[in-house]
Amino acid sequence: MSAISASQVKELREKTGLGLMDCKKALEGANGDMELAIEELRKTSGVKASKKSGRSAADGLIGIESKAQDIFMIEVNCETDFVARDDSFVAFTNETLQAYAENPESSLEELLNNGIEDNREKLVQKLGENIVVRRVAKTQNSSAVGSYLHSNQKIGCIVSLDGGDESLANDIAMHAAATDPMAISPSDIPEEIVAKEREIFKAQSEESGKPPEIIEKMIEGKVSKFLAEVSLTEQDFVKDPNTKISQLLKDNNANILSFTRYEVGEGIEVEKVDFASEVMSQIEG
């Protein structure tokens, strides 16, 4: 039997909304076959439960909490903004966030197994939607940490700095939340992404009909521009477009150690629902 990876368990959990251990056991029983694992989970979890858990949970809330010298961030997903604004969903998000802040070394799996999973399942039954504690993050030990949470709790960011202070860290977190950088600096951008962009720029530039040496310069110019646009340090500071983030850091004798930006539902494929079939399935169920 092939080993089951954490990413497979995570994917199955996002698709079904069921517990981590249930998903892991199902994948092991199906020898890693995702569709077979889903089919078996539906059989063992009951028809009604599978109807709820099979739906995409791409809405929800981001939660951020400061405790001691650390900042904690979580994403909890549901299916609709209506449920995301429900008091019981908000309370569950806050409860999960507090549990993480009190157990900072916990993995997501450990956090869920410490009582959160039971509460999640009860909330699924109460609200009638698939609910998933999707991911957690925290700042690392550093000179200064900061955070930003958008007013609708759909976007959040946490930042760790070497040098600087909390105010600077908060400003950079706000900036990153607004601009969604891919990495801290150009050197942090994965080479395969750079190569893919270069290939696209090459195809675009070759249509110009210019000499090869000019085309090469055009390609490198576009690559440099791309790297500057997606790298946090090379972006213009949103509060002062005349200052780059790199200059802001230099002025404050600081470096960015890490940043984590969450946006609710990013990367989750939302299923298109045939509402007529959905109504009929509920009637038949």
C-alpha distances in Å from residue 177, one per residue of 153, 157, 229, 259 = 11, 6, 14, 10
pLDDT of residue 49: 43
Q: Which residue has the tokens 């009582």?
A: 115
Q: What are phi and psi of 30, to 5 degrees?
A: -95, 10
Tell me what pLDDT residue 269 has: 75
Cα–Cα distance between 75 and 153 in angstroms, integer? 10
What CATH number does domain 6-52 carry, 1.10.10.10, 3.60.20.10, 1.10.8.10, 1.10.1740.110?
Answer: 1.10.8.10
Better-scored residue on pLDDT, 79 or 273: 79
pLDDT at 277: 55
Per-residue pLDDT tens digits for 212-243:
888 888 888 999 999 999 999 999 999 999 99
pLDDT of residue 45: 54
Confidence of residue 274 (pLDDT cuts 50, 70, 90): low
Portion of the chain with pLDDT greater than 90, in percent: 55
Distance of CA 278 to the CA centre of its chain: 28
**DSSP letter for each residue of 117-131:** HHHHHHHHHHH-S--
Helices 20-29 and 6-16 meet at what angle, rounded to 10? 110
Distance (Å, rounded) from C-alpha 135 to C-alpha 76? 8
Domain map (residue ranges) of the chain: 6-52, 55-138
pLDDT of 253: 97
- The pTM of the full predicted model, rounded to 2 decimals, is 0.75
| Better-predicted residue by pLDDT, 20 or 113 | 113
pLDDT tens per residue across span 160-169: 999 999 999 9
Alpha-carbon span 18 to 84, nearest angstrom = 19
At 50, the pLDDT band (50, 70, 90 cuts) reads very low
Q: Among 49-53, 79-83, 138-142, 231-235, which is the least confidently predicted range?
A: 49-53
The CATH homologous superfamily for domain 55-138 is Elongation factor Ts, dimerisation domain (3.30.479.20)
